[in-house]
Structure 1
Amino acid sequence: MATLPPTSHRRAFVVAGLIVQLVAVAIPTAYIAYRTEHTQAVISKATLLLVGRHVVHSHNGVLIVVAAAVLFAVGSVLLARPFVRSWLTLGVAVPVAGVVGLLVLGIGALVLALLVYAVFDTLDLSDVRTSKGKRRRWQS
């Protein structure tokens, strides 16, 4: 099996890989922010669900998500290049691991957001006691 030659500029590969991955994550985020901005609604759970549904069901949304996943895989390859010696590992295992890692992080962020929403939804933050023991009602 052919091995890759060592790289002389590790830092350049790592920085380039991180920048490409950051751009890959920013593209769908910007698209979703753009879609929510044009609905002119308060960003809520329902708004995000509607925009997410629109992204999945529109051709442009699917293309943006797929392009971001491919770009993230390219960033993973750039990031791993100084540390990998095998072409097979660099061409197959690293991109697959990058995309699977992105999916796992996305699912984790979704679960965390739902947990935070559930906790803050059950708390009644409108009825708060002040430091003097008096009750204060917040105006919504």
Structure 2
Amino acid sequence: MQKQDCERRAFARLSERLKTCFPRLRILLLLYGLYANGPVMQRCRDYHWPFMIVLKDQDLSTVWQEFRALHALKPQAMQRCWGRRRQRFLWVNAIDYAFGSNGRQRLKLHVVVCEESWEWIDQQATTVTKTGRHA
């Protein structure tokens, strides 16, 4: 946990410096799951920086619970082909995420999941179906 804490503190320092030096610069942040926490996302909102964070299943467990429950009630999905990949997008908007002491701070988050599959020819010339999932 020490390394993660260091990286999050470094994000806080760097983001503050960027905002101070370039107050009007439009920034879009693409982050991985380490930065999926309330203080990082709140700072992005405070600075008016749009952000996308790649989530793993263990990141933001309460958000995943809400995603599954809300998607079951009102499924939103779309299917597309991208090259030889078949993709299915699932999403839920405005998921309430509470963080901080006693969950006093709140953010509304949007979660999009892409499930994809494609055919692959292995070394034995056998067709294998591969799958991927990105959130």
TM-score by length of 1: 0.27
Higher strand share: 2
Q: Could you say which structure has the larger radius of gyration? A: 1
Q: Which has the higher helix share?
A: 1
Greater relative contact order, per chain length (Cα 8 Å cut-off, separation 6+):
1
